[in-house]
Amino acid sequence: MFKRHKSLASERKRELISSRATRSILKNDLRNFHSLSQLILSAGPLRSAAAVKHVKTTHFEIEILDAHTRKQICIVDKMTQKSTIHDVKQKFHKACPKWYPSRIGLQLERGGPFLKDYVTIQSIATASIVTLYFTDLGRQVSWTTVFLAEYTGPLLIYFLFYLRIPYIYDMKESSRRLRHPVVHLACFCHCLHYIRYLLETLFVHKVSAGHTPLKNLIKSCAFYWGFTSWIAYYINHPQYTPPSFGNRQVIVSTINFLICEAGNHFINVVLAHPNHTDWIMD
């Protein structure tokens, strides 16, 4: 019996010793984990290996060929995915200074549409090398210049006929005949119309910063200036006859003209500021 009690006591001692050892190991593990967590927090957020490494940017080479001869003109390199056709034109101009950006036309295919300046390289690239065809668009002028030339010409031309320059009308006939009051009214209305156009071009319209070929300026000026010369010649002619219905016709026509001018000006102002037109729909 004594031996059994002794063996049981020794077993209990062993269990107590093992449990104490296990507890001390757990405490050491908790301390190590706590110190490790403190070290990680002090070091800041974890960063992935991909974030630490520099992101590689894909670059493209733009090969520019002549659209007529298919001969290589130059190669524009180091163009990123976000680069635009406008950026290509700028670098092309540096390589070939005789062609400034506004007269450079670039196409994906010969005879195809010209690429807009805002088109990105990523949207048209199918490989690391992109081939574009160059066409010289000729001399270019800004749209503001086009509109100012269109509207300034009629003012000056009409005054030449209104003053009855001797190279246009016969001096003897011009001196004999007095002008009807409606002729002066017509000059006032004509000048008011084109002065309004000029002021709206400068202060109201948001004219595009783009360019257009010089031939378009010539076409537009030919139309406006030619039409002005045609009506000014007959209205200011010494043999001009007043309206058939007299002052009633003149007054009604003048009122209609002023209403149309005011309406057109109002529409132009509204279109120039689209964010302030919600009240119209209320």
Q: What is the pLDDT of residue 164?
A: 87
CA torsion angle 157 162 168 171 (round to 10): -160
Q: Where in the chain are the domains?
A: 60-138, 142-277
Segment 213-236, tens digit of pLDDT: 999 999 999 999 999 999 999 999
Q: What is the pTM of this model?
A: 0.68
Q: What is the pLDDT of residue 27?
A: 55
Provide the 3-class DSSP secondary structure of residue 67: coil
Q: Does the domain spanning 60-138 belong to CATH 3.40.140.10?
A: no
Q: Confidence class of residue 281 from pLDDT cuts 50, 70 and 90? A: very low
Q: What percent of the chain has pLDDT over 70?
A: 77
**Cα-based distances in Å from 124 to 11, 71, 83, 161:** 83, 21, 11, 55
Q: Which two tokens stand for residue 16?
A: 């107590």
Segment 166-205, tens digit of pLDDT: 888 888 887 877 889 999 999 999 999 999 999 999 999 8
Q: What 3 state SS string does 2-42 have?
A: HHHHHHHHHHHHHHHHHHHHHHHHHHHHHHHHHHHHHHHHH
